[in-house]
Structure 1
Amino acid sequence: MTEPHVTLDPQSLNPVEEKLRGPLEEQLTSALQAATDRVRQRYAGESVDQVTVMLLEQAKAGLHPDIAAGFHPDHAQLRQVAEAIVAEAR
């Protein structure tokens, strides 16, 4: 499984966010990759929906609260990561 990567849509960013886009993408990607590793290691037969929720919760837990509040990853892409974790465990 390839590691997830966060890419922000420049059209949805305000000017301050646009200036911080690179470091913000790195921080979000790092949090999501760490969450993926933790969920993968702790996976115990949960459904894809449960794993999707776990990924989001774990990723947000690894971020500053202000950044976590604004982190809304694409649900379909997050679900693909969850599906890969479930499939890998079978």
Structure 2
Amino acid sequence: MVEPHVTLDPNTLSPVEQKLRGPLEDQLTSAMKAATDKVSHEYSGEPVDQVATEILDETRAGLHHDIAEGFVPDQRELRRVAEAVVREA
């Protein structure tokens, strides 16, 4: 099973975000894991790019809207997760 993990770049965070980095990474990782599990269970042959979009949409849907609006995952990592969903189907 795919185990996504979100790591925030401390060089891009504001001082407040830096203080909240650990809990924020945990929340983002949890939302992405739940999204990946859901997309994986509903997978029915979609291409990798569509799977990546679905994972991102589901992740954002599981977050508070302020956090969701600011969440821009590493596209390579998101694609890696989507490729794993397709591969494991």
Pick the TM interval, shorter chain.
over 0.9
Could you tell me which runs of 5 or more consecutive residues in structure 2 were left unpaired when the two chains were aligned: none
Structure 2 CA distance for aligned equivalents of residues 84 and 29 of structure 1: 16
Structure 1 window deviating more from structure 2 (52-61 vs 2-11): it is 2-11
Taking structure 1 as the reference length, the TM-score comes to 0.96
The root-mean-square deviation of aligned C-alpha atoms, in Å, is 0.7
State the structure with bigger RCO (CA 8 A, min sep 6), 1 or 2. 2
Taking structure 2 as the reference length, the TM-score comes to 0.97
Structure 1 CA distance for aligned equivalents of residues 76 and 7 of structure 2: 14
Report the CA distance between 1:2 and its aligned residue: 4.0
- Corresponding residue number in structure 1 for 2:62: 62
How much identity, in percent, do the aligned residues show?
65
Q: Is the 8 A contact 2:2 2:81 kept in 1?
A: no
Q: Is the 8 A contact 2:3 2:33 kept in 1?
A: yes
Q: Is the 8 A contact 2:6 2:28 kept in 1?
A: yes
| Alignment length (residue pairs) | 89
